[in-house]
Protein backbone atom coordinates (compact mmCIF):
# COMPACT_ATOMS: atom_id res chain seq x y z
CA UNK A 1 0.00 0.00 0.00
CA UNK A 2 1.42 3.34 -1.08
CA UNK A 3 -0.29 5.50 1.54
CA UNK A 4 -3.19 5.85 3.88
CA UNK A 5 -6.29 7.98 4.24
CA UNK A 6 -7.97 9.38 7.34
CA UNK A 7 -11.10 11.20 6.18
CA UNK A 8 -14.57 11.45 7.72
CA UNK A 9 -17.66 12.92 6.05
CA UNK A 10 -20.87 13.29 8.04
CA UNK A 11 -24.25 14.90 7.55
CA UNK A 12 -26.29 15.31 10.70
CA UNK A 13 -28.01 17.58 13.17
CA UNK A 14 -26.49 19.31 16.18
CA UNK A 15 -27.80 18.00 19.50
CA UNK A 16 -26.79 21.15 21.38
CA UNK A 17 -25.48 24.65 20.75
CA UNK A 18 -21.76 24.68 19.90
CA UNK A 19 -19.37 25.02 22.83
CA UNK A 20 -16.58 27.57 22.23
CA UNK A 21 -13.66 27.64 24.66
CA UNK A 22 -10.24 29.27 24.93
CA UNK A 23 -7.22 26.97 25.06
CA UNK A 24 -4.15 27.61 27.22
CA UNK A 25 -2.30 29.02 24.17
CA UNK A 26 -5.02 31.68 23.68
CA UNK A 27 -6.59 30.14 20.58
CA UNK A 28 -10.22 29.04 20.43
CA UNK A 29 -11.67 25.56 20.02
CA UNK A 30 -15.27 24.66 19.14
CA UNK A 31 -16.97 21.41 20.14
CA UNK A 32 -20.09 20.06 18.47
CA UNK A 33 -22.31 17.09 19.23
CA UNK A 34 -23.55 15.74 15.90
CA UNK A 35 -26.26 13.10 15.47
CA UNK A 36 -26.56 10.87 12.41
CA UNK A 37 -29.52 8.53 12.03
CA UNK A 38 -30.53 5.63 9.88
CA UNK A 39 -33.95 4.05 9.67
CA UNK A 40 -35.21 0.80 8.22
CA UNK A 41 -38.21 -1.46 8.19
CA UNK A 42 -37.79 -4.63 10.25
CA UNK A 43 -38.38 -7.61 7.92
CA UNK A 44 -39.89 -9.88 10.56
CA UNK A 45 -42.24 -7.44 12.30
CA UNK A 46 -42.73 -4.80 9.60
CA UNK A 47 -42.00 -2.21 12.29
CA UNK A 48 -40.05 0.97 11.48
CA UNK A 49 -36.71 1.04 13.36
CA UNK A 50 -34.23 3.86 13.82
CA UNK A 51 -30.69 4.06 15.15
CA UNK A 52 -28.92 7.29 16.05
CA UNK A 53 -25.16 7.64 16.41
CA UNK A 54 -23.61 10.59 18.25
CA UNK A 55 -20.30 12.05 17.09
CA UNK A 56 -17.96 14.47 18.81
CA UNK A 57 -16.66 17.13 16.43
CA UNK A 58 -13.74 19.36 17.47
CA UNK A 59 -12.83 22.43 15.40
CA UNK A 60 -9.43 24.15 15.60
CA UNK A 61 -9.71 26.13 12.33
CA UNK A 62 -10.22 29.79 13.37
CA UNK A 63 -12.35 30.62 10.31
CA UNK A 64 -14.67 27.71 10.97
CA UNK A 65 -14.91 28.60 14.66
CA UNK A 66 -16.06 32.13 13.73
CA UNK A 67 -18.74 30.73 11.41
CA UNK A 68 -19.91 28.20 14.00
CA UNK A 69 -20.04 30.85 16.71
CA UNK A 70 -22.16 33.22 14.58
CA UNK A 71 -24.46 30.92 12.62
CA UNK A 72 -24.68 27.37 13.96
CA UNK A 73 -27.23 26.50 16.65
CA UNK A 74 -28.82 23.38 18.15
CA UNK A 75 -30.82 21.48 15.52
CA UNK A 76 -28.81 22.84 12.57
CA UNK A 77 -28.27 20.39 9.71
CA UNK A 78 -24.57 20.41 8.77
CA UNK A 79 -22.04 18.60 6.61
CA UNK A 80 -18.61 18.18 8.20
CA UNK A 81 -15.42 16.82 6.70
CA UNK A 82 -12.39 16.11 8.85
CA UNK A 83 -10.17 13.41 10.32
CA UNK A 84 -10.62 10.84 13.08
CA UNK A 85 -8.43 11.37 16.11
CA UNK A 86 -8.29 9.39 19.34
CA UNK A 87 -6.95 11.04 22.45
CA UNK A 88 -6.04 9.48 25.77
CA UNK A 89 -6.31 10.89 29.28
CA UNK A 90 -6.32 9.67 32.87
CA UNK A 91 -9.58 9.65 34.83
CA UNK A 92 -8.80 11.57 38.03
CA UNK A 93 -11.28 9.64 40.16
CA UNK A 94 -10.20 6.10 39.16
CA UNK A 95 -6.71 6.65 37.80
CA UNK A 96 -7.62 4.60 34.71
CA UNK A 97 -6.73 5.53 31.16
CA UNK A 98 -9.71 6.79 29.12
CA UNK A 99 -10.00 7.23 25.37
CA UNK A 100 -12.13 9.50 23.20
CA UNK A 101 -12.47 9.37 19.42
CA UNK A 102 -13.41 12.63 17.71
CA UNK A 103 -13.76 14.11 14.24
CA UNK A 104 -11.18 16.90 14.09
CA UNK A 105 -11.50 19.87 11.72
CA UNK A 106 -8.25 21.77 11.31
CA UNK A 107 -6.08 22.95 8.46
CA UNK A 108 -6.92 22.86 4.78
CA UNK A 109 -8.43 19.34 4.78
CA UNK A 110 -11.49 20.39 6.79
CA UNK A 111 -14.85 21.86 5.93
CA UNK A 112 -18.19 22.61 7.49
CA UNK A 113 -21.24 23.47 5.40
CA UNK A 114 -24.61 24.51 6.76
CA UNK A 115 -27.34 22.61 4.91
CA UNK A 116 -30.45 24.36 6.24
CA UNK A 117 -32.39 26.40 3.70
CA UNK A 118 -32.70 30.18 3.81
CA UNK A 119 -36.26 29.99 5.13
CA UNK A 120 -35.32 27.75 8.04
CA UNK A 121 -35.83 28.90 11.61
CA UNK A 122 -32.27 27.91 12.50
CA UNK A 123 -30.35 29.98 9.97
CA UNK A 124 -31.01 32.88 7.64
CA UNK A 125 -28.01 32.30 5.39
CA UNK A 126 -26.23 29.37 3.81
CA UNK A 127 -22.68 29.65 5.09
CA UNK A 128 -19.72 27.55 4.12
CA UNK A 129 -16.08 27.44 5.13
CA UNK A 130 -14.11 25.33 2.75
CA UNK A 131 -10.59 23.90 2.93
CA UNK A 132 -8.79 27.12 3.75
CA UNK A 133 -6.14 28.12 6.20
CA UNK A 134 -6.01 31.61 4.70
CA UNK A 135 -7.86 34.33 6.62
CA UNK A 136 -11.21 35.58 5.31
CA UNK A 137 -11.32 33.19 2.37
CA UNK A 138 -14.77 31.64 1.75
CA UNK A 139 -16.06 32.63 5.20
CA UNK A 140 -19.37 34.04 4.05
CA UNK A 141 -20.70 32.69 0.82
CA UNK A 142 -23.59 34.67 -0.68
CA UNK A 143 -26.55 32.30 -0.82
CA UNK A 144 -27.92 34.02 -3.93
CA UNK A 145 -25.20 32.21 -5.91
CA UNK A 146 -26.98 28.97 -5.03
CA UNK A 147 -30.50 30.08 -6.02
CA UNK A 148 -30.10 29.50 -9.78
CA UNK A 149 -33.02 27.75 -11.38
CA UNK A 150 -32.28 24.21 -12.49
CA UNK A 151 -33.86 23.38 -15.87
CA UNK A 152 -35.07 19.89 -14.92
Q: Which residue segment(s) compose the domain that 47 sits in?
A: 8-145
What is the reported pTM? 0.71
Q: Is residue 104 domain-resident? A: yes
Overall average pLDDT of the 78-89 stretch: 94
- What is the full DSSP assignment across 28-48? EEEEEEEEEEEEEE-TTT--E
* pLDDT, mean over the chain: 81
Q: Is residue 27 part of a domain?
A: yes
Residue 127 and residue 142 in contact, taking contact as beta carbons nearer than 8 Å: no
Q: Give the residue from 27, 99, 12 showing the smallest Cα distance to 61.
A: 27
Does a structural domain hold residue 134? yes
Residue 27: predicted pLDDT: 93
Count how many domains the chain has.
1
pLDDT digits (tens, 9 = 90+) for 54-70: 999 999 999 899 999 99
Give pLDDT, residue 107: 85
Q: Is 152 exposed, middle or buried (0-12, 13-18, 19+ CB in 10 A)?
A: exposed
Please give the residue that has the higher pLDDT: either 117 or 40.
40
**Residue 15 placed within a domain:** yes
* Residue 21, in any domain of the structure: yes
* In a domain? residue 1: no
CA-CA distance, 19 to 149, in Å (whole number)?
37
Q: What mean pLDDT is predicted for residues 96-113?
A: 92
Residue 150 in any domain: the answer is no
Whether residue 12 contacts residue 54, with contact meaning beta carbons closer than 8 Å, is answered with no
Q: Domain holding 27: CATH number?
A: 2.40.50.140
Per the domain annotation, does 152 fall within a domain? Answer: no
Amino acid sequence: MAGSLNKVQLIGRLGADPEIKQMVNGKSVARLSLATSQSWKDKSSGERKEKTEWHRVVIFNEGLINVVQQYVKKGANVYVEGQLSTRKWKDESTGQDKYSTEIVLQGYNSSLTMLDSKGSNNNSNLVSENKSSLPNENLNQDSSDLDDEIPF
